[in-house]
Structure 1
Amino acid sequence: MTLTRLAGKVALFSAIAATTMACAQAADTVQTPPQGAYVALDGGRVHAVVQGQGPDLVLIHGANGNARDFTFDLAGRMAQEFRVISFDRPGFGHSDAFGGLKSPMAQAQVLRDAAAELGVDRPILLGHSYGGAVAMAWALQAPGDVAGLTLLAPAVYPWPGELGLWYQLSSSWLGQKVVLPLVAGLAPRSAVDSSLEGVFAPNPVPEGYMDHLGYDLTLRASQLALNARQVDGLKGYVEAMSPGYPALTMPIEIIHGDQDTTVGLSFHSQRMADTLDNAQLTILPDVGHMPHHARPKDVADAIRRTYTRARSQ
């Protein structure tokens, strides 16, 4: 290789590195303000939005989301009957990363500590998608302190096969250090909107949802990188957790859309309903991965059923 070609390659890699660093720094700038307050813990702060009064209901969001997914509609809807605590999971929204936790068990412990600081007492836990695994981890850690579970399209069991090429790439060194920062800094709004439409399909994305969720929070480079690592490692964690599910006795209500292409109905919700006597599954026809937006009344009814069953126990 001639010195000229070597110098050219060095210049090219330097330019890529500089562009990547600039994109990462720009994409980690957050303008969407916190809606709630911070709970200070050892290792960082957890952001929580608390609304209403009554029995405690804790909401745990899914992959690459934040508490605003719930404050768009569901939290306010349920605040008429419950004290609703919508958490940003560690590293998402306005919560600190606590070292970049991959395990649902570790995330659940942080949220449990934050809930204790807020005086949460035997809550109903609601977990959506990846948040379903965190809710199950919480229940496994403290079964006597959880009144019941409401799970929305939960990812709670190991699934056949492997994740797609995108997650394999995004969780790799190249994806973490180069691809995701570039995506975060350069992806057009239209590409983000198109991806969101795929998650909601076949249901429409509610008007104003993306702006409420926070475009800058969702496309933040550090959050994208943490999300990729968490999703890539989830299968092994739920494989280790799932043998403990049959020991749980609290009421479990599950809501899953029959058109969900993100989390397989048969691999997760149907398996839980077939395995656990205390789990009741409601399948919503023509609903995708976001039932709390497509059919919020059905989700609210499921929460009420969980609470009623918990009181009867």
Structure 2
Amino acid sequence: MMWLWIFLAVLPFLLIKNAFIMTILSLVGIYSIASLGLNLIMGYSGQISIGHAAFMSIGAYTSTLLVMNYNLPIVFGILIGGIVAFLFGLLIGFPALRLSGFYLAIATLGFVVAVEQLFSSLEHLTGGHAGIRNIPFPYLWNSDVEKYLLVLSFLFISYILLQRLINSKNGRAWMAIRENEIASAVMGVNVAKYKVLAFAIGSMLAGIAGALYAHVIGYIAPSDFGIAKSLDLLAISVIGGMASLDGPFYGSLVYTALPFLFSRSHLSLSIVFGIILIFVVLFMPLGVSFYIGKFRTKYLNSIAAYLKKSRKPYGQFLDTKFGKIHYIKSGSGPKNLVLVHGNFASARFFEPLIALIPKNEYTVYALDLPNFGFSEEFEGEVSIEKYADALSAFIEKLGISNIILLGHSLGGAVAMGYAVKNPSKLQKLILVDPAPVYGMPKYDESAYKIIELYRKNPDMIKKALMINAPTYENEKFFKKIMSDALRMARKTFIGNAKALASYNYSEQAKNIEIPVKVVYGDKDVILTLESMEITAKAFKNGELIVLEDIGHSPVVENPGEIIRIIKM
């Protein structure tokens, strides 16, 4: 979304002379904010509200009266309008806890009617049915560009606020309540608290949107925020996509741009909008945002993947019968240590570990396996055995023996494959959160389709790497690993997953006499403790070492402990 924010911020300076388009864009932003609030209430927490426009009117009148009567700065007026709407959200939210489904919908419908009638009757304060005109916008030039930038600023802040909330404990609680309220309560979720909180925050965003509407348009009346407006906001949310952060923007764009597109035609806007709503419900039930995201994931992100791919080798090359293998070498000590990386990784993955290894004690070799990083692609299908043979060719070309071999994740399976064929070359085998000795479970075909998406989606790769190392927070490091991962051979994205489910070294492992250390981070989200216990017991001299509060990647999360294990 960052590219979109940059584009939206620059856009007014390209259209600075077109006041009409600037007003249309401002309205898109306003309705996006209001729809974000409704999406939180309905899409994320599963409550039904068709009286959302009432909170827009509360925010609009509060800010207008404060700015006009007390000369309050407009930003403070908008914020106070949002706070007052928040309080009314709490007021409505508590009694609404006893209602659900259509009953809650009717209650919110009654609220919007009541608020409209109340503001219509307070003529001395709100102007009654005629409303309030000439609402000020007291900034330097009172220009449409300034109004647009103010709306965009509030939209950006609202988007970031909701993004943080949705990805936090609050968001998980809301989604749990949406899926099954009773099960959520059984699991310890305070249903009442989170339902009221969602209603109040959603109402606050509507209040902010209403306040912005008042100052951008310069005129408000009770009829502007009646049932029709509430239904419009509901339609915006449905068209854009429920439970989607960018859905409100796409829905608002359709809703607000349609009058402009059809202004010179003889078509009724209500008919056109109704046809679009029916089309979306029938053929795009998940909303426009879902299908735009799907298109971006499958096609557009391939451009980003190409641009973010690593270009310059950072190590040296070794010619083998499996092609050129790229590797890094560190230190000049008497002990040889060979490091084998996992899936979506490269030799660079071991940089935090290598930096701490005593250079006078160890000579360290970390390679990019064939098909990974800057190493060449080997011919034929992918298999763990073939990777192990490539590792053997690499070690043979180096001419080293008495090796300490360390493999991580997929590299652990490769290291086992090498060890069962070349036990005499090894002094010790260290398996760090390795694929189990008996292989990984097989996926169904739908899972392979998802794995294939990683090839064109850098952010998916980076997120996967970061999830597997939850205690390591160096984002620049993960960007470098992601750039190397984008160099993986196309066949490996699905091929590696199938290869990990197609080997079993349980019998051969019994013949290995050397010490084998199986290291497991107890916060690993891929492997189970049971699978690691079985793997350690498969070797005669196997030992399981469990690291507390560590994820799938101890080599970056706790390299000091890995070095201690290497020295054992």
- Residue equivalent to 1:310: none
**How far did residue 163 of structure 1 move?**
3.1
- Residue equivalent to 1:216: 483
**How far did residue 61 of structure 1 move?**
0.2
Structure 1 pair 101/251, CA: closer, same or farther in 2 (3 Å)? farther
Structure 1 pair 142/277, CA: closer, same or farther in 2 (3 Å)? closer
Q: Are positions 1:200 and 2:469 aligned together?
A: yes
- Residue equivalent to 1:61: 341
**How far did residue 264 of structure 1 move?**
2.2
CA distance in 1, matches of 2:446, 2:403: 36
CA distance in 2, matches of 1:188, 1:39: 28
Structure 1 pair 59/160, CA: closer, same or farther in 2 (3 Å)? closer
Give, as a single letter, the amino acid of the residue that structure 2 aligns with 1:105: E
Deviates more, 1:130-139 or 1:114-123: 114-123
Q: TM-score, normalised by structure 2?
A: 0.44
SS in 1 for 2:435: coil
Structure having greater relative contact order (Cα 8 Å, sep ≥ 6) = 1
Give, as a single letter, the amino acid of the residue that structure 1 aligns with 2:525: T
Return the match for 1:109 from 359, 365, 389.
389
Q: 2:440–2:501: 8 Å Cα contact kept in structure 1? A: no
Structure 1 pair 161/134, CA: closer, same or farther in 2 (3 Å)? closer
- Residue equivalent to 2:353: 74
CA distance in 2, matches of 1:162, 1:106: 19
SS in 2 for 1:163: coil
- Residue equivalent to 2:499: 233
Q: 1:108–1:135: 8 Å Cα contact kept in structure 2? A: yes
Alignment of 1:32-51 (within 5 A): 32-51=311-330
Q: 2:516–2:541: 8 Å Cα contact kept in structure 1? A: yes
Q: TM-score, normalised by structure 1?
A: 0.77
Return the match for 2:423 from 140, 143, 159.
143
Structure 1 pair 22/48, CA: closer, same or farther in 2 (3 Å)? same
More strand by share: 1
CA distance in 2, matches of 1:95, 1:166: 30
What is the CA deviation profile of residues 139-170 of structure 1, one whole-angstrom value per residue up to 9, with x for unaligned ones?
A: 11111111110110011333685437664325
Q: 2:369–2:391: 8 Å Cα contact kept in structure 1? A: yes
CA distance in 2, matches of 1:125, 1:161: 25
Alignment of 1:1-313 (within 5 A): 23=302, 27=306, 30-54=309-333, 55-71=335-351, 73-80=352-359, 81-99=361-379, 102-158=382-438, 162-163=442-443, 167-170=447-450, 175=452, 180=453, 184-185=455-456, 187=457, 189=459, 191-201=460-470, 203-213=471-481, 215-220=482-487, 222-223=488-489, 225-237=491-503, 239=504, 241-267=505-531, 269-305=532-568
What is the CA deviation profile of residues 56-88 of structure 1, one whole-angstrom value per residue up to 9, with x for unaligned ones?
A: 1000000111000002x1123225221000010
CA distance in 1, matches of 2:322, 2:538: 37
SS in 2 for 1:147: strand
Give, as a single letter, the amino acid of the residue that structure 2 aligns with 1:46: I
Q: C-alpha root-mean-square deviation of aligned residues, in Å?
A: 2.8
Give 4+ residue runs of structure 1 displaced > 6 Å after superposition.
Answer: none
What is the CA deviation profile of residues 112-142 of structure 1, one whole-angstrom value per residue up to 9, with x for unaligned ones?
A: 2122222222211000011001001111111
- How many percent of aligned residue pairs carry the same amino acid? 27
